[in-house]
Chains A and B, each alone.
Chain A
Amino acid sequence: MLENAWLIPLIPAISFLIILAFGKRLPKKGAEVGIAALTVSFVIAMLCAVEWVGKKVPRHAVTGHQTWFEIGGVEFGAGMHIDGLAVMMLVVVTFISLMVHVYSTGYMHGDRRYTYFFAALSLFTASMLLLVVSDNTLQLMIGWELVGLCSFMLIGHWWEEGVNSGAAIKAFITTRTGDIGLMTGIIVLFFAAGRDFSIEHLNHEALTGAIGHGTLLVGASLLFLGVMGKSAQFPLHVWLPDAMAGPTPVSALIHAATMVVAGVYLVARLFGVFWTGFSIEVGGTNLVAIIGAMTVIIAALLAFVQDDVKKVLAYSTVSQLGYMVMALGVGAWTAAVFHLFTHAFFKALLFLGSGSLIHSVHSNNMSEMGGLRKFMPTTFWTFMVGSVALAGIFPLAGFWSKDEILLGALVDGFPIMLVVGLMGAFMTAAYMTRACYLIFAGEYRGHGHPHESPPSMAWPLRILAVPAVLAGLLNAPGIGLFHGWVEFEVEGVPHFLELHEFNPVLAASSLAVALLGIAVAGAYYYRGALNGLADRVPLLRTGHRVLVNKYYLDDLFLAIIRGIQYPIAKAAYWVNQHVLDGVVNGVGKAAQRSAVVMYEVIDQRVIDGAVNGAGLSAEEGGSILRHIQTGRVQQYAALLFGAVAVLAMGLVVLT
């Protein structure tokens, strides 16, 4: 099945076309096509995974490549590079996408653009899978931009409200800012690797030292700019919380489980380039680790002051993405990929759970929820499973993957990142406790009548709760299957990533930190201890205000844009008014003058003269001849006879 993995992206792509063409005429408005396609894709992905796991060690990537065209010795084409990482992503993407498709039939029921929504979901899944399987940076970028487009389309799904379309534009432009870096990075690496787009080749050249370190640093930094945009790393994370304006299934699929991890996936894919480019093996600090660490803390802090449940989860996603990036930055490749894997399940679960809440109370705000445990039991326990998994409590998924990241930071010699990771764990546990408290505990504060969601929404929650609990065990000490299945491997290069022994002390301390976070938040909310602290202490009050305003980042960006764009716009306006308009007006005036000449001389005098002359002569002739027309028959006869007489005389005279 592995050599047929190209079918996996192809099937949703075909489904997209079918839904687009016939969706509205189908009994289920196109949803059945999307679900059927994703089911097939998921089955193929699972077969691929089974085959991959069953392969003899060492497993080698299955590749395939189709040349599109060649020009100047450079080959352009599409291909696939199926290794453990790709197989893992294929399974995750198809599985989450299938769940989201099923869930959307309930959540989007009766929506005005229901068919269009499913078409966009199919297109998104196809693009994401195209990105995952790609064996060259060019194809990867095509998939990358396509998922960005689908993200834009789906965030702005309810574009009638200005906020939503604004959020879509913001997401698109912010990620595009990073994509400039991605594109230039790809170009730099293309030339550095000897005019070759192949990812395998790039990694090989980077790891064997065939590319100079300076070039690699530039290329990797540029690529990382794209990663910052796509994976919402500080300071380009601002679009992700706003992207929550889209429908919740979209947030679960695109902005939690799949698209936003594309950046992490890119770094993991091209890890050879980053490893050498940022000198990760040396230890100490590098851009990737620093940005990741900053993102962990900054986003986690913001999650505390949000009222919108989806924004809490959005900042949590940003923070967890920061974890992954930080893990890659410290060289804990497997840990990062493993966290990507587990995070996809429990964050998708949490988002779908929040969708279920929103569907029920018709509000995103936690201040209008409360006490929902009684009304929505399934949503409650699945949401709690997701929260506990996210908080990193033993033995759920998040615990194992987060622990591996901390372990990597510890062993590879990044003490600051270790501290940041522990702080992040503390805050994650605390803000999830806050969210759960506000949503489920206490009395209901909303206006509607909350009710459990329909089965089409409840079942995906139940199904997703299973991997949210169990996925972490795949790489638990004693089992440790995951790192064998998913390995970073470049042909011809010895393994350079070392595996770390499980450290019980660290695991225990991370668990203790998480529990402490829950305890502190619990004390604050349940007991009311420390209440009003933010109002009493001026320093905390300032901090709170800064957080509520999201560090004033949006204002900063706007100011930058104003500062740069307005002068440019003004200059452009001046040029437009004085130079371009001058030229245009000049041409217009010249045309007008020549037209006037044409009109007065040729049209009026020559052409009209001829036409009028013909008419005039006919008129004059008529007015002369009308005098003959007296109406008297006898006069006509006299003329007739006279004429005949004249003609006869002429005849006689001439002959």
Chain B
Amino acid sequence: MYLNQFLLLAAVLFCLGVYGVLVRTNAVLVLMSIELMLNAVNINLIAFGAFRDNVIGQVFSLFVIAIAAAEVGVGLAIVLLIFRNRADIDLDELAQMKG
């Protein structure tokens, strides 16, 4: 087993997440892409922890999971409100903050 395999997997996963965040116009899908990115980070943390005989990586990944759950809860609530107001969750249309 090589650490590189895990890091490569995490990097691929993270890039997929970044791509989803930048390209997808559906807000729910953007949130899901963020989850992908967070999980890629989790894989990294656990992999490093395992290879170093250290539990700190697992502890941090638990924190990240908990925060990700909270973040998704808040994010979905915002998305829901936006949908109620506009009957639409297309992010390209949400440009009122243009300076």
Contact = CB atoms under 8 A, between A and B. Distances in A.
Most buried by A among B94, B96, B99: B99
Interface in A346-370: none
A634 B98 contact: no
Contact of A638 (B22, B91, B94, B96): B22
A7 to B, nearest CB: 92
B22 A631 contact: no
B47 to A, nearest CB: 19
B95 A641 contact: no
B18 A629 contact: no
A638 B24 CA distance: 12
A536 interface: no
A626 interface: yes
Contacts of A632: 91-92, 94-95, 98
A634 B99 contact: no
B66 interface: no
Contacts of B92: 632
B91 A629 contact: no
A634 B96 contact: no
Interface string B72-99: 0000000000000000000110111111
A628 B99 CA distance: 8
B91 A641 contact: no
Interface in B1-54: 18, 21-23, 30
Contacts of A633: 91, 94
Contact of A631 (B18, B21, B96): B96
B98 A641 contact: no
A106 to B, nearest CB: 91
**Interface size range on B against A:** 10 to 19
Nearest to B97: A631
Contacts of B97: 629, 631
Contacts of A628: 99
Most buried by B among A626, A633, A641: A633
A42 to B, nearest CB: 97
Given A637-B22, A638-B22, A641-B18, A631 B91 contact: no
Interface in A617-650: 625-634, 637-638, 641
A542 B95 CA distance: 112
A630 B18 contact: no
Contacts of B21: 634, 637
B99 A629 contact: yes
Contact of B22 (A625, A630, A641): A641
A634 B22 contact: yes
Nearest to A637: B21
Nearest to B92: A632
B53 to A, nearest CB: 26
B99 A626 contact: yes
**Interface size range on A against B:** 10 to 19
Contacts of B23: 634
Contacts of A637: 21-22
Contact of B95 (A625, A627, A630, A638): A630
A633 B97 CA distance: 9
A411 B13 CA distance: 148
Nearest to A641: B18
Given A637-B22, A638-B22, A641-B22, A630 B91 contact: no
A68 to B, nearest CB: 85
Nearest to B34: A637
Nearest to B24: A634
A627 B99 CA distance: 7
B95 A634 contact: no
A630 B91 CA distance: 12
Contacts of A638: 22
B91 A634 contact: yes
Contacts of A630: 95, 98-99
Nearest to B21: A637
A632 B24 CA distance: 12
B3 to A, nearest CB: 18
A626 B92 CA distance: 18
B88 to A, nearest CB: 15
A634 B27 CA distance: 10
A629 B98 CA distance: 6
Most buried by B among A625, A631, A634, A637: A634
A634 B91 CA distance: 8
A632 B98 CA distance: 7
A563 B43 CA distance: 118
Contacts of B18: 641
A642 to B, nearest CB: 10
Nearest to A625: B99
Nearest to A633: B91
A624 to B, nearest CB: 11
A619 to B, nearest CB: 14
Contacts of A625: 99
B77 to A, nearest CB: 16
Contacts of A629: 97-99
Contacts of B30: 634
A330 to B, nearest CB: 112
A631 B92 CA distance: 9
A628 B97 CA distance: 11
Interface string A182-195: 00000000000000
Nearest to B95: A631
B81 to A, nearest CB: 15
Interface in A583-637: 625-634, 637
A653 B62 CA distance: 32
Nearest to A634: B22
B60 to A, nearest CB: 19
A646 to B, nearest CB: 15
Interface string A481-503: 00000000000000000000000
Contacts of B98: 629-632
Interface in A15-31: none
Interface string A255-277: 00000000000000000000000
24 contacts: A625-B99, A626-B99, A627-B99, A628-B99, A629-B97, A629-B98, A629-B99, A630-B98, A630-B99, A631-B95, A631-B96, A631-B98, A631-B99, A632-B91, A632-B98, A633-B94, A634-B21, A634-B22, A634-B30, A634-B91, A637-B21, A637-B22, A638-B22, A641-B22
Interface of B: 18, 21-23, 30, 91-92, 94-99
Interface of A: 625-634, 637-638, 641
Kindly list the 10 A-B residue pairs having the minimum CB-CB distance in the complex, ordered from nearest: A629-B99, A631-B98, A631-B95, A631-B97, A626-B99, A638-B22, A632-B95, A634-B22, A630-B98, A637-B21
Given A631-B96, A631-B98, A632-B95, 6 more contacts: A625-B99, A629-B99, A631-B94, A632-B94, A632-B98, A637-B22
